[in-house]
Structure 1
Amino acid sequence: MIELHSHKDLSRLKRLALSSQGLLQAKPFGSGLSGARKAIAHLGYVQIDTISVVERAHHHVLHSRVPSFDPSMVNQLVVSGEVFEYWSHAAAFLPIDDFRFSLPYKNAIKSGQVHWYKNPDQKLMGQLLARIRSEGPLRSRDVDAKNNNRKGGWWDWKPAKKALEQLYMQGDLMVCGRESFQKTYDLTERVLPSHIDSAIPSMEEFAKHLIDQQLRCYGLVSIKSVTYLRRNIELRKAVKNLVEGGVAQGTLERIKIANGDVFFMRSGALDRTPRLNNRLSILSPFDNSVIQRDRLKSLFEFDYQIECYVPELKRQYGYFCLPLLFRGEFIGRMDCKAHRKEGCLEIKSLYIEKTKIVDELMMSAFVDAIDTFRIFQQCDSVVLSNISPKPLMQPFQAALKTRY
């Protein structure tokens, strides 16, 4: 086991994690549509989210890594069959080459081992399949069915919409396109490209896939993080056995950091960590680099929570704070809102938690990042309403005024 205690060693470990995420290089995956395709393939998934106070999370994640990315490109990749929608640890866009690794969960739902909806309406599901088979792709809003008696949350969807979702989750249907958040479904056999492997993986194949994927996009992993939010006990055992086997064979190294947490990485990976740059990144709360909160806190000492699910009076930072990354550290967070009709990006609260890094270089990087982010939000102006610590208000406002 390699024990890392010095600040220099931990910094190298952080750089490995961030470069593996594509957050240190200017064009890690290229640009435009090709860059978006390669980014999704490398990351393994991009989480879908509906919150729109700023541009939605799945677009934001790609914007952070792919120059010239446009939100329409994601649907282009779905329609062309290069990306598909399904469940990762949440709803996500995934590379089509990984399709076979969605099959164990689909089969578990279809067999009743795992429930998406309890007591699904098999008769209605059969009718919908027959309709799609004969009439072609179907949008959920096009289904004519009576509402349930109850009204309100997502659990009260129309029976037909539930049936569509059940068919999708168990693998009979796939999403073949989207209009905003309106899915269009078609038969899997008509959507899945013919060259894609659809053989169900063994438990060991699935475990190896997850380990390879996580090492590729995170650089270093823990046993727990490889199976993040996957509750299959046999899968966890298979992952543990493969990781321990990799250590025994010398293909993996076990790393212990100062707080006692243990990670694993490819042998020699620390020898290839890139240099830091002076770019500041504004990340989504659902960004792949921050979604595993325990890992984020352990490695970067950044304690982060999305507070949109927290009652307003109990929020510490704001509804939808965005993590700020600069020179290998998470230096703070920013709660903001895009007022698109007015063309204004409002920074409701800016929290700089590592104040020692604040200098002209950092503030210039912040203004550059805000300018790029403003354009991404389709806004023309920027307003800074609040900052902590408060003495930073004047210099940050002055820096922003050089652009606006």
Structure 2
Amino acid sequence: MSHQNIQYISLSEAQKIAVSAQLLTRNIDKETSSQTVLEKLGCIQIDAIRAVRRSHELVFLSRGISCKETDVSTEHFETWGHAHSLMPMSLWPHMEWRRRRLRASGFIGPEVDKLVCKSVLKVISAEGPKTMTELEPSVGKGWNRASATRWACEWLLSVGDLVCTSRNSRWQRIYSLPTESIPYPIRSSRHCDDLGLRHVVDLSMRALGIATDRDVADYFKISLPEARKILIESEYERVMVEGSAAIWYISKDIEMSFSAESIVAISPLDSLVWSRGRQKNLFQRDYILESYKPKLKRKFGYFGMPVLKGHRIVGRVAPRKSGETLFIEAQEFDDSISPDEIELLLQKLSTWASCSHVIMERD
């Protein structure tokens, strides 16, 4: 592919575009809400790890939004996006292409028991929303049957026969019927696969700001050929970024505005950095989540959080809450970061974790 007539931009400029698109510029309008953040990002990954707060809560907190421990006060549903994710309710009709494809191709994982699926739907239809714990006695007993229930719920959630729009105080999904939880105007809207895919590509571009075709494909886990085709047909501006041989695309809705460069830690599952390749290309970092590694095989810490200052990633910190104490397993920062900035960062993490003490485990 010829690179003639393609604009070159600096790495710093590309970083500013990406960070601004992700609403991490630290000058968020006072009226910005968690719903605004969810609508803009389109997809917020959910994970059970709770080293400081749950990952999706950290996404909101790092963008200046306060949220309760067990509640996300947004109009959302849960499904597979980048991974298992929160998505804004408005995205429901635009994800029909994925539900259709899943119905046609089947589920990756254990075989789904269709009889258990029918039993689960029957119980929820008759008795209302249920957690999986509440469903298990209704459809059978024993480990095997419980396992079948779990996979039935996963399947029904993935194809849209069940939905999860809230969780209980134990962070268990509450399954309900779409007719009970998805507003009719949204539920009744229908889109063909092509329109749905184009919508998620456009949403991905707005959320990323600047991206390669691989970044766009990765955001909602669509195929690379589909992402590439839509990007070209949609006539996104192509650019070259300093230090990268790839072709990049720029969003049509760039809004850059930075206030004073405050310092903030972000979840390792934040959409700014969840792609390792993008993290390397844009921020020249190669941080990986080590939570699922045995302790002796971790090189940094259980929950390494990248640290953002302005448009740059300037280091990382590995906090872990225990009771009212926040232990810092490890930290590393660029030389430009002052001790006062580090102290401010740790105080902020302590507040997020509702801890009264911070203890450094090692330098």
- Normalized against structure 1, the TM-score is what? 0.81
Q: Which of 325, 342, 348 is residue 344 of structure 1 equivalent to?
A: 325
Structure 1 residue ranges without an equivalent (≥5) = 150-155, 388-404
- Residue in structure 1 matched with residue 7 of structure 2 by the alignment: 2
Q: Which of 286, 299, 316 is residue 303 of structure 1 equivalent to?
A: 286
Deviation, structure 1 residue 294: 0.3
RMSD: 2.3
Q: Which of 326, 336, 343 is residue 367 of structure 1 equivalent to?
A: 343
Q: Which moved more, 1:189-198 or 1:94-103?
A: 189-198
Q: Which of 45, 49, 52 is residue 51 of structure 1 equivalent to?
A: 49
Deviation, structure 1 residue 198: 4.3
- Residue in structure 1 matched with residue 125 of structure 2 by the alignment: 133
- Residue in structure 1 matched with residue 3 of structure 2 by the alignment: none
Deviation, structure 1 residue 27: 2.0
Whether the aligned pair in 2 keeps the contact of 1:104 and 1:200 (CA below 8 Å) is no
Name the CA distance, whole Å, in 2 between partners of 1:316 and 1:334: 13
Name the CA distance, whole Å, in 2 between partners of 1:139 and 1:253: 47
- Normalized against structure 2, the TM-score is what? 0.90
Amino acid at match of 2:198: K
Cα distance change of structure 1 residues 101 and 337 upon mapping to structure 2, 3 Å threshold = same
Q: Which of 289, 300, 310 is residue 317 of structure 1 equivalent to?
A: 300
Give the paired residue count: 354
Deviation, structure 1 residue 229: 6.9
Aligned to 2:53, the other structure's residue is in SS state: coil
Cα distance change of structure 1 residues 329 and 48 upon mapping to structure 2, 3 Å threshold = same
- Residue in structure 1 matched with residue 84 of structure 2 by the alignment: 91
Name the CA distance, whole Å, in 1 between partners of 2:106 and 2:142: 26
Aligned to 1:330, the other structure's residue is in SS state: strand
Name the CA distance, whole Å, in 2 between partners of 1:200 and 1:258: 43
Establish whether residue 226 from structure 1 lines up as the match of residue 182 from structure 2.
no
Bigger relative contact order, structure 1 or 2 (CA pairs below 8 A, ≥6 apart): 2
Aligned to 1:209, the other structure's residue is in SS state: helix
Cα distance change of structure 1 residues 232 and 17 upon mapping to structure 2, 3 Å threshold = closer
Amino acid at match of 1:204: D
Whether the aligned pair in 1 keeps the contact of 2:97 and 2:193 (CA below 8 Å) is no
Amino acid at match of 1:94: M
Q: Which of 69, 86, 107 is residue 71 of structure 1 equivalent to?
A: 69
Deviation, structure 1 residue 45: 1.2
Percentage of pairs with the same residue: 23
Amino acid at match of 2:62: S
1:4-403 → structure 2 map (5 Å cutoff): 4=9, 9-28=10-29, 30-31=31-32, 35-74=33-72, 76-77=73-74, 82-111=75-104, 113-142=105-134, 143-144=136-137, 145-148=140-143, 157-179=146-168, 180-196=170-186, 198-228=188-218, 233=223, 236-247=224-235, 251-266=236-251, 269=254, 273-275=256-258, 277-340=260-323, 343-352=324-333, 354-355=334-335, 357-359=336-338, 363-387=339-363
Deviation, structure 1 residue 297: 0.5
Cα distance change of structure 1 residues 105 and 207 upon mapping to structure 2, 3 Å threshold = closer
Which whole-Å deviations, capped at 9, do the CAs of 1:147-203 have from their partners, x for residues lacking one? 236xxxxxx953223222222222111114211321111111111111215444333
Structure 2 residue ranges without an equivalent (≥5) = 1-5
Which whole-Å deviations, capped at 9, do the CAs of 1:330-371 have from their partners, x for residues lacking one? 11111121112xx1111121112x22x133xxx333322322
